[in-house]
Structure formats: structure tokens, C-alpha cells
Amino acid sequence: MLPRHGVTPALVYEARQRIAGRVVRSPLVRSAALSARFDADIHLKLETCQPSGAFKLRGATNMIAALIERHGRDALNAGVTTASTGNHGRAVALAASRLGVPAVICLSRLVPDNKVAAIEALGVEARRIGRSQDEAFGEAERLVRDQGMTLIPPFDDPLIAAGQGTIGIELMEDAPELDQVIVGLSGGGLLGGIGAAIKAIRPGTRITGVSLSRGAAMWESLRAGRPVEVEEIESLGDSLGGGIGLDNRCTLALVDEVMDDHYQVSEPAIAHAMVDLLEHEKMLVEGAAAVGLAAIAEHQIEVRGQRVALIVSGNGVSLETFDRARRMANR
């Protein structure tokens, strides 16, 4: 019997075969500085190496390619669309252009200009709607309804979560003795997919989620036991903003099943982590990619003696945003 969220290990392994050669098998590198600082063996999974700059290319490529396999390319003649806080939109744009499918990407006005420009540079339309992910998603739904486009959800679909879950397979191949994986958590496709893969291979590995301190829809939804709406608030970790959808069918149940620990991180903690990663690892990353380090530092998560992987999820940060983080960290 399929689990209610629909994400099985078999689906993740199918995604791995489907996206092979279309996405980067990202490196897992040991951080000497962080390992010494926390008396642990800390590794960084560098999804910043993806051509789109973030992990989202895995899920988007898997879903579009799977739809073509199942229904034929003509089924996507009207194009694909999605709503995004930036990284998923860029991934859909890149995956669609590579697979010869038209695309329209809907974004809220809170999405930073640099992420909008990155999408437009791929030759697809970036349509800005409202001040929340939910408003942008409403426009994507209208394009599906009125123009016959196909929706590529940012997270709430088994094919998307399975695509992101290929990271978990790679982690288990490169570091089979991992004690803990720390993952940024918003809609749940990344953490849920990784967790589904890892728990099937090594159930004892702990999956730790990290959410924003404000505007964290998954945090509030898990507490309520059902999807809830939250106000979307501007954050250094903007990729972790947005709702999970009141009709969430996949990721709420998936995250609830595979996640062992959950923390919220403050803006100053994110700022410090972004600066630390640049100073010590020479990595300029977005706030959402730094929340694993932020959580260890802010909450003093017990990692001593453990082998830990932090998912460095994306590099979509403007110099203006990083400068804001630097000023916050220096206060």
C-alpha cells in the first residue's frame, strides 16, 4: 500500500535515473573549520553547484521529464507554470527550456529582484503578483484553468519531493555513516524527499528541520495537525517563506513522518551563519542555505562526535542582501 503522501523509495530511485545527466551530482565536502568549532565531523552538501544555483532543479527536472514520459510532449504544448519564491521558478525555467517546453513563472513582489532577473535571463516570462506566495500561486492556477498550462508545484507533489530526495541517495553513498542531516524547511519537498530516501537506507540517521522564526507555515501546520495560513514576512532566508497550501496533499504528512527534530532560527542567527560561510568556507550563499549552521549555533544542537551533513541549498543572494546580513551580524 502506498503511503498517504505518495513518496516511496522506488519513486526516488526512479527520479535518480530520470535526472541523471540533467542535474549535477553535487559534492559533499568536509568543513575543517566547522568540524573543529563544534567538535564534530561536519560536511556540506553543495547544491549551490547546480546550474540553476539551487537544489530545486532536481524536482523540476524530474516532474517535467516524467510528464513527457507518461503523456508525450504534446501534452505540454501550452507550457508549464509555477509559483515560486525564486529558486523553484528558476529551476522550472531552466528545466523547461532544456526540455523544449514553454514556461511562465509567477512570483510575489517580495521575491528579490536578482532572482527575478535570473529567471528572465533564461528567456521565460517572470510574472510578479501580490505580496505572498499564495497570491502568486493563485495566478499560476488561473493560467492552468484559463490557458491550459500544466502546473509544476514548488514542493507539494510526490514527483517534486522524489526529485529532491535524490540528494538523500547521494548522501548515503558518499557518507553512509551519517548520524544527522540538517535541512532548511519551508514547503517540505526538500526535507521530506531527503528524509524518505535516507530513512529507507539508514533509519537511525536523524533528520533535523530548520524553519524561520517568523512566518513559518510548516512549523505552525505541524503544531496544528493541519495546513494553516501564516503571514509571509520578509527575511534573509526568503526561500523558506510562503505557505504550504491549505489543500496540502503530500509534504505535510511526509515531513511529519520523516523529521526527527525541528528548530526555528532568528534573523541575526541567519546573518551570522551567512557571514561565517563566506569568511571560513569562501561560500556566498543565500540565507536559506545557511540555516543549518545557524541552528547549530543558536540552539547549541548536540553534534559533538557526530558525522553531520548540512544541506547548502542555494546561492541566490544579492550583494545588497548579503551586505544587510553582514551589518546585522556586526551589531
Domain segments of the chain: what residues? 9-54+157-329, 56-151
Alpha helices in 148-209 (DSSP H): 158-174, 189-201
Q: What is the pLDDT of residue 1?
A: 58
Q: Which residues contact 208 (CB under 8 A, 6 or more apart)?
A: 180, 181, 182, 183, 259, 260, 261, 262, 263, 292, 295, 301
Q: Comparing C-alpha atoms, which of 270, 294, 283, 84 is closest to residue 189?
A: 84
Indicate the CATH number for domain 9-54+157-329: 3.40.50.1100
- Tell me if residue 149 falls in helix, strand or coil: coil
Query: What pLDDT tens digit does each residue of the chain (331 aa) get?
Result: 568 889 999 999 999 999 999 999 999 999 999 999 999 999 999 999 999 999 999 999 999 999 999 999 899 999 999 988 778 899 999 999 999 999 999 998 888 788 888 889 888 999 999 888 778 889 999 999 999 999 999 999 999 999 999 999 999 999 999 999 999 999 999 999 999 999 999 999 999 999 999 999 999 999 999 999 998 888 999 889 888 989 999 999 999 999 999 999 999 999 999 999 999 999 999 999 999 999 999 999 999 999 999 999 999 898 999 999 999 999 8
DSSP type of residue 54: B
Query: Rg of the Cα trace of the chain?
Result: 18
Cell of 131: 505580496
To 5 degrees, how large is the angle CA 90–CA 183–CA 65?
40
Judge contact between 286 and 239, C-beta under 8 A. Answer: yes
Q: How many CB atoms lie within 10 A of CB 4?
A: 11
User: Concatenated DSSP letters for 215-273?
Assistant: S-HHHHHHHHTS---------TTGGG-S---TT--SHHHHHHHH--EEEEE-HHHHHHH
Residue positions annotated with a catalytic role: 56, 313
Task: State the CATH class of domain 56-151.
Answer: alpha beta
Q: How many CB atoms lie within 10 A of CB 130?
A: 18
Query: Cβ-count burial of 327 within 10 angstroms (0-12 exposed, 13-18 middle, 19+ buried)?
Result: exposed
Q: What is the pLDDT of residue 139?
A: 95
